[in-house]
């Protein structure tokens, strides 16, 4: 999952993102969302800062919060990456309009992961996300390993009405969160988001 950090130093521009399209359906909430085999603590985030490169060699932290949490899917879209780690986006809420989106909300946060990608890989994600027509890149700050880092994420270019994700799309996000070490609190929050519920 997480890969060894590049052995030379360069600066960083971080990046957030996710998505994919998904048909409409409801999500069944299980009595116990625990998956013990995934209940591992997230890896430490030591040495996350990478000194900057320019142009086509520029590196970005990209923040994934939806279907791009699935590393096999990400690999099929952009190839390999040198580093990926859990990260949290504060001041935003995850919403659904079939696919996932993020919208400002000062009382919320979005658990996800950051991938270290180059500009060529980001352009591949742009095409996958339909940027800038469907999704657009936005600059954000994420927390990873007790450090605040600049990143880029994808957000719907215009807000869309709520629509519950398909079960398959939901499971992709859930399994991605579990694989990155998140637990019951984050999974139950995901169920509420997918059902448009504000329950505790």
In a domain, 59, yes or no: yes
Query: Could you tell me which of 3, 134, 26 has the C-alpha nearest to residue 81?
Result: 3
Give percent above pLDDT 90 in the chain.
Answer: 68
Within-domain flag for 199: no
Q: Does some domain include residue 188?
A: yes
Q: pLDDT band for 196, please (50, 70, 90 cuts).
A: confident
Q: Cα(158)–Cα(83) distance, rounded to whole angstroms?
A: 31
| Domain-located, residue 6 | no
What's 147's domain CATH number? 3.10.490.10
Using an 8 Å Cβ cutoff, are 24 and 167 in contact?
no
Query: What are 151's strand-pairing partners?
Result: 140
Structure confidence at residue 198 (pLDDT) = 56
How many domains does one find in the chain? 1
Find all residues with CB under 8 Å of 48, minimum gap 6, and list them.
5, 12, 61, 83, 85, 144, 145, 147, 149
55 — pLDDT class (breaks 50, 70, 90):
low
The answer to whether residue 8 sits within a structural domain is no
Q: Is residue 174 part of a domain?
A: yes
Provide the pLDDT confidence category of residue 56 given band limits of 50, 70 and 90.
low
42 in any annotated domain: yes
Q: Which domain holds residue 54?
A: 13-194
Give yes or no for residue 20 having a pLDDT over 50. Answer: no
pTM of the predicted model as reported, rounded to 2 decimal places? 0.75
Q: What is the mean pLDDT of residues 152-165?
A: 96
155 is a domain residue: yes
Angle 71-78/167-179 helices, nearest 10 degrees? 100
The structure tokens listed for 191 are 């169920």
Average pLDDT (157-185) is: 97
């Amino acid at each position: 999952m997480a890969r060894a950090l590049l052995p030379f130093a360069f600066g960083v521009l971080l990046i957030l993102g996710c998505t994919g399209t998904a048909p409409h359906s409801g999500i069944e909430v299980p009595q116990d969302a625990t998956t013990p085999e995934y209940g591992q603590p997230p890896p430490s985030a030591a040495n996350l800062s990478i000194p900057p490169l320019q142009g086509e060699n520029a590196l970005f932290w990209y923040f994934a919060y939806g279907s791009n949490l699935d590393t096999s899917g990400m690999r099929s879209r952009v190839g390999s990456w040198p580093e990926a780690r859990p990260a949290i986006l504060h001041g935003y809420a995850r919403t659904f309009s079939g696919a996932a989106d993020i919208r400002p909300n000062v009382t919320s946060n979005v658990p996800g992961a950051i991938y270290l990608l180059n500009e060529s890989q980001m352009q591949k994600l742009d095409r996958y996300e339909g940027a800038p027509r469907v999704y657009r890149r936005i600059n954000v700050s994420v927390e990873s390993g007790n450090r605040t880092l600049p990143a880029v994420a994808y957000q719907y270019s215009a807000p869309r009405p709520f629509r519950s994700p398909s079960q398959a799309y939901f499971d992709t996000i859930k399994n991605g969160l579990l694989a990155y070490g998140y637990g019951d609190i984050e999974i139950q929050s995901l169920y509420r988001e997918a059902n448009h519920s504000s329950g505790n």
